[in-house]
Amino acid sequence: MAENSENQGDMTVREAGEKGVEALREKHGPDAMSEIGRRGGEARKEELGPEGYSELGHKGGQRVKELIEEGKKAEGENR
């Protein structure tokens, strides 16, 4: 196994992904990132079909609703 630098062992997968996205954004610009997202959404829609894609959207909406409620609750607790 190759030796890691001191900071590499501490980076999470999420942090590595965010770093990679930022590098792409700097190299190609925000318009390219929008295009990548659009293409990914189209591919996912084709993979899931209209009903599956719709269900995925509903799940996302439910999660947003949960996060908003959690934020309101936390805000009330901090007052």
Q: Give residues with Cβ within 8 angstroms of 45, minimum separation 6.
A: 53
Q: pLDDT tens, 28-70?
A: 998 999 999 999 999 999 999 989 989 998 888 899 999 999 9
- Residue 39 inside a domain? The answer is yes
Is the pTM higher than 0.85? no
Taking alpha carbons only, the member of 42, 64, 66, 65 closest to residue 53 is: 42
What pLDDT does residue 16 have?
95
Distance CA 19, CA 7 (A): 13
How many distinct structural domains can be found in the chain? 1
What pLDDT does residue 31 have?
92
Assess whether pLDDT exceeds 80 at residue 1. no
- Residue 8 inside a domain? The answer is no
- Residue 3 inside a domain? The answer is no
